Chains A and B, each alone.
Chain A
Amino acid sequence: MSEGMDLERTKQSSRTDRNIRIETLFPEIANLYGDHANIRYLKLCLPDAEYVEDMLSAEPHFATEKPDMIYMGPMTEHQQELVINKLRPYIDRIKELIEQNVVFLMTGNAMEIFWDRIENEDGTSIEGLGIFHYVAKRRMFNRYNSAVMGLLGDIKLVGFKSQFTHSYGDNSSEYMYEVTKGDGINRETKYEGVRRNNFMGTYTLGPILILNPDFTLYLQKLLGVEEPKLVYEAPMRDAYEERVRQYEETEFVLT
């Protein structure tokens, strides 16, 4: 976890889930690798929270109302451009929400939307929202697949990456977690993703909340939930502990 990102400073005021609003951006497209299961699982853990979805065709709820959490999953390269264009009018609002400690969770290539730009192999590039000063570089015939393990504070995170891009820029002061096995935002760094206040972006994709029970509890704490809970905790921990054991025992060969 980045310096200063301690839980007490960043968590929202204590509450039950009745007062929590969780907003999913563009679920009709940003759901490529089982990522939609993150919100499905949160709905089980926080059944009384309010869940809203923003479609590409409508104004996002966050434009006029403050959510407690915004989630977006990975999408196709073409759809990244649609999303960037959709969110461009709300750059200042997004910055404001980040400053206000709203929890953002962006999985897979969703975080690239917020970068300065995404570069194609042919030299063209797509201007991002420019909220974070990184550049993603696409290599469309060199897909990068890997498992990954790392530390967010004392939470051991495990998961998967599968992507056409890597990101470049110095995230050493605002990374989401430090990789212990695998790579960070590119092959040269162990710093994975980005963390600014409660904005968390990571190339780790899929149902990361289901794969990582302690992170899910942490996320609930960030949302200010007084008594965080995990539904199906026992089988979830069984699967998690097995994966941690397997990862620790296995040599990572990256492709």
Chain B
Amino acid sequence: MAKKTTRFYLAMFMGKLARGTQKLLGMNATFFPGKLALQICPDFMGQVDKPKYLIGVTGTNGKTTVSNLLVDLLETQGIKATNNRSGSNTKAGVASALLINATFGGKSKNEWGVIEIDERSSMHIHPYLKPGYVVCTNLFRDSILRNAHAEYIAGIISANIQPETKLILNADDLISSGVAPDNERVYYSIKRLPTDTETCHNIINDCRICPKCGAELEYEYVRYHQIGKAHCPKCGFASPKPDYEAEVHFDEKYMLLNERGTQQRYDLISDSIFNVYNQVTVTTLLREMGLTAGQIRDGFSRLHIVDTRYNKITVGGIDVIDHMAKEHNPVACSVVFDYLSKEPGTKEILFLLDDEKVLENMTWMYDCDYEKLNSPLVKHIIIPGNRAKDQKLRLIMAGVPEEKIIIGMSDEEAPNYLDFEGTDKVFVLHQCYKPMLSKKLDGMIVELIRKREAQKG
């Protein structure tokens, strides 16, 4: 722990003052106080006392859900954890979380901390935070503008993870499982599932060659993208042997987790494979940190995944489902499209995956599995916005019949193009930065359905 300087105390005071003022003004106050503190004392994160049990959560997908699950589960066991769930996962957001949960003297108010860390911000956070544990959920292709490619991000994380940090890693992902190879590590995995295949059914798999010798990897099975189990026929490199391995029983909604030779049963809190991974991640970490299987079982039984990215309203027998799809992240969008394709019932889709800036790079669309939207159950796809013509072309190339794709309207006009007749579900797919727009359109859709119901008498 770096020695506290006068600048640190000034930064703490000013940061808390800024937070108090922002709160009085009804603001969130989870970014600016940390930003200000860092401006006054650039080593603020190094000097502030950290929680004794500090967990960092990083990775391309799932880190927010894992962080939230950890905070909520700990809370069910009476443990309050310092966290940045209501703020940013970059430097200023993390500094704010530490500031808010510290005394004026810089002492941490909590023994536990769960900090979500933007992987691109690793160099600004890990060297100061030095978490005892870091979870890396997975590393996939993400926004090419910021993240370039998964290997680049893995390199940034590896270069900045501190030697004393113990890693909790996904053995089923050959990219993230290889970060910081000299650090102590624990691997988790999900055993082969009936739905796994021998070849990749997604457009992209970013781990087709051996990271050691460059030979083509042989996959024993692929779950999605590069997630699966593989080995190199040339040099013997292979997926790591898991310390924690889950046997998942989706039908009966439980998993048996082999925990270093001891088997424990946990009820599943979600039936999506992505959330099962999140649950296995959380369980592995907390077991390693000393919580009992009973505590974890009890915790899971008292919480559910609060998915701010998913909201369902049923009106007039039609489910109106608001679902976030991270635009520019082809894997995240593919996952949403896959989920949507597997949902039973006929669907109308309102696509809000737009770019306000017309110069924005849209090449990610061709890495994303739009093909999953080519289903007889998808009746229409309504697309407003700047990217409508690009989206239409991509969908046509994915095999979606042209007559199903409707473009050329404003965002607010889009709900009027939905056809509710014979429709079971309306999906509103929106990007990260348009939750307010999608909520507004959700409301308009609900009103349209209600009017329709009223007219039907």
Task: Write the residues of chain A forming the contact surface with B, with a CB cutoff of 8 angstroms.
Answer: 28-29, 31-37, 40-41, 55-57, 76-79, 82, 140, 143, 145-147, 160, 162, 164, 205-207, 210, 232, 235-236, 238-239, 242-243, 246-247, 250, 252-253
22 A/B residue pairs, CB under 8 Å, sorted by A: A28-B209, A34-B364, A34-B365, A34-B367, A35-B366, A55-B216, A57-B214, A57-B216, A77-B152, A78-B151, A79-B151, A145-B145, A162-B144, A164-B148, A205-B363, A207-B366, A210-B397, A235-B389, A239-B389, A243-B358, A247-B358, A250-B358
Contacts of A253 in B (CB 8 A): 359
CB–CB B144/A37 < 8 A: no
CB contact under 8 A between A247 and B359, given known A37-B366, A210-B366, A235-B392 = yes
CB–CB A210/B393 < 8 A: yes
- B340 near A: Cβ within 8 Å? no
Restricting to B368-424, which residues have a CB under 8 Å from any CB of A?
386, 389-390, 392-393, 396-397, 402
Contact of B209 among A34, A56, A77 (CB under 8 A): A56
Contacts of A246 in B (CB 8 A): 358-359, 386
CB contact under 8 A between A250 and B359, given known A36-B203, A76-B152, A236-B393 = yes
Contacts of A247 in B (CB 8 A): 358-359
Contacts of A143 in B (CB 8 A): 145-146, 148
Sorted nearest first, the 6 A-B pairs with minimum C-beta distance are A206-B363, A34-B366, A37-B366, A34-B363, A147-B359, A246-B358
- B208 near A: Cβ within 8 Å? yes
What distance in Å separates the Cβ of B370 from its nearest Cβ neighbour in chain A?
11
Cα of A40 to Cα of B370 in the assembled complex, Å: 14
What distance in Å separates the Cβ of B85 from its nearest Cβ neighbour in chain A?
28
Q: Which single residue of chain B is at the shortest CB-CB distance from A245?
A: B358
Contacts of B389 in A (CB 8 A): 235, 238-239, 242
Contacts of B214 in A (CB 8 A): 56-57, 82
Cα of A206 to Cα of B145 in the assembled complex, Å: 13
- B361 near A: Cβ within 8 Å? yes
Contacts of A140 in B (CB 8 A): 152
Contact of B363 among A29, A33, A78, A250 (CB under 8 A): A33
Q: Which single residue of chain B is at the shortest CB-CB distance from A149?
A: B359
Cα of A126 to Cα of B152 in the assembled complex, Å: 18
What distance in Å separates the Cβ of A83 from its nearest Cβ neighbour in chain B?
10
Q: Which single residue of chain A is at the shortest CB-CB distance from B405?
A: A235
- B107 near A: Cβ within 8 Å? no
What distance in Å separates the Cβ of A154 from its nearest Cβ neighbour in chain B?
23
Contact of A28 among B148, B216, B358 (CB under 8 A): B216
What distance in Å separates the Cβ of A208 from its nearest Cβ neighbour in chain B?
9
Contacts of B365 in A (CB 8 A): 34
Cα of A78 to Cα of B151 in the assembled complex, Å: 9
Of B144, B152, B362, B390, chain A has the most CB atoms within 10 Å of the CB of B144
Contacts of A28 in B (CB 8 A): 208-209, 216
What distance in Å separates the Cβ of B267 from its nearest Cβ neighbour in chain A?
40
- B315 near A: Cβ within 8 Å? no
Contacts of B151 in A (CB 8 A): 76-79
What distance in Å separates the Cβ of A212 from its nearest Cβ neighbour in chain B?
12
What distance in Å separates the Cβ of A211 from its nearest Cβ neighbour in chain B?
9
Contacts of B17 in A (CB 8 A): none
Contacts of A250 in B (CB 8 A): 358-359
Contacts of B396 in A (CB 8 A): 232, 235
What distance in Å separates the Cβ of A103 from its nearest Cβ neighbour in chain B?
21
Q: Which single residue of chain B is at the shortest CB-CB distance from A78?
A: B151
Of A34, A82, A145, chain B has the most CB atoms within 10 Å of the CB of A34
- Number of residues in B with C-beta < 8 Å to the partner? 33
What distance in Å separates the Cβ of B345 from its nearest Cβ neighbour in chain A?
28
Restricting to B200-231, which residues have a CB under 8 Å from any CB of A?
203-204, 208-209, 214-216
CB–CB A56/B216 < 8 A: yes
Q: What 0/1 readout, one digit per residue, does chain B (179-213) give for beta carbons within 8 Å of chain A? A: 00000000000000000000000011000110000
Contacts of A210 in B (CB 8 A): 366, 393, 397
Contacts of B216 in A (CB 8 A): 28, 55-57
Contacts of B359 in A (CB 8 A): 146-147, 246-247, 250, 252-253
Q: Which single residue of chain B is at the shortest CB-CB distance from A83?
A: B214
Contacts of A239 in B (CB 8 A): 389-390, 392-393
Q: What 0/1 readout, one digit per residue, does chain B (138-175) give for beta carbons within 8 Å of chain A? A: 00010011101101100000000000000000000000
Contacts of B361 in A (CB 8 A): 33, 145, 147, 160, 162, 206
What distance in Å separates the Cβ of B404 from its nearest Cβ neighbour in chain A?
13
Cα of A206 to Cα of B392 in the assembled complex, Å: 17
What distance in Å separates the Cβ of A187 from its nearest Cβ neighbour in chain B?
16
CB–CB B145/A162 < 8 A: yes
Contacts of A243 in B (CB 8 A): 358, 390
Cα of A33 to Cα of B145 in the assembled complex, Å: 11
Contacts of B141 in A (CB 8 A): 32
Cα of A33 to Cα of B367 in the assembled complex, Å: 7
Cα of A33 to Cα of B144 in the assembled complex, Å: 7
Contact of B366 among A29, A82, A162, A206 (CB under 8 A): A206
Q: Which single residue of chain A is at the shortest CB-CB distance from B215?
A: A57
Contacts of B203 in A (CB 8 A): 36
What distance in Å separates the Cβ of A214 from its nearest Cβ neighbour in chain B?
15
Cα of A238 to Cα of B391 in the assembled complex, Å: 11
Of B364, B366, B367, chain A has the most CB atoms within 10 Å of the CB of B366
Cα of A232 to Cα of B402 in the assembled complex, Å: 10
CB–CB A36/B366 < 8 A: yes
Contacts of A206 in B (CB 8 A): 361-363, 366
Contacts of A82 in B (CB 8 A): 209, 214
Cα of A185 to Cα of B182 in the assembled complex, Å: 39
Q: Which single residue of chain B is at the shortest CB-CB distance from A252?
A: B359
Restricting to B309-346, which residues have a CB under 8 Å from any CB of A?
none
Contacts of B390 in A (CB 8 A): 239, 243
Q: Which single residue of chain B is at the shortest CB-CB distance from A182?
A: B359
Q: What 0/1 readout, one digit per residue, does chain B (59-83) give for beta carbons within 8 Å of chain A? A: 0000000000000000000000000
Cα of A143 to Cα of B361 in the assembled complex, Å: 14
Q: A210-B393, A246-B359, A253-B359 given; name 10 further pairs at CB < 8 Å.
A: A33-B361, A34-B367, A36-B366, A76-B151, A76-B152, A162-B361, A164-B148, A206-B366, A243-B358, A243-B390
Cα of A29 to Cα of B141 in the assembled complex, Å: 13
Contacts of A77 in B (CB 8 A): 151-152
Cα of A146 to Cα of B208 in the assembled complex, Å: 29
Cα of A35 to Cα of B365 in the assembled complex, Å: 11
Cα of A95 to Cα of B144 in the assembled complex, Å: 32
